[in-house]
Amino acid sequence: MQQYFEMRARWIQSLKDSGKNPYPHKFPVSISVPTFIERYQHLQNGEMLTDVVVGLAGTFSIALQSSCIRANVSQVVFARVVAVATNYFSTS
């Protein structure tokens, strides 16, 4: 495990040294987690905004899934967001 860590650390450093971002997002991020919480904290449990699309980045620490719902918990320093996706609006 230590050898893997050292190899990866050298690879990441070489990307940084060449001016490349070693952790690029695969999608555009439009809002930070603290701003997201501030903007949408007024929503009640179960309330949905169907006309809002945001790009949010974080580390998902928990992923739960059943046949009709999926929930992800993203934690950032001093912030926590629970994102729930439902197939309620699905056409398939």
pLDDT of 65-81, one tens digit each? 665 555 555 555 556 66
Residue 28 confidence (pLDDT): 82
> What is the Cα gyration radius of the chain?
18
| Virtual torsion, Cα 9, 15, 20, 25, nearest 10 deg | -40
Give tens-digit pLDDT for 10-54.
998 999 999 988 887 677 888 888 888 889 889 888 788 888 888
Q: How far apart are the first and last CA of the chain?
A: 44
| pTM tops 0.85 | no
User: Structural domain boundaries of the chain?
Assistant: 26-86
pLDDT of residue 65: 62
Sign (positive/negative) of CA torsion 20, 33, 39, 54? positive
Confidence at residue 72, expressed as pLDDT on a 0 to 100 scale: 54
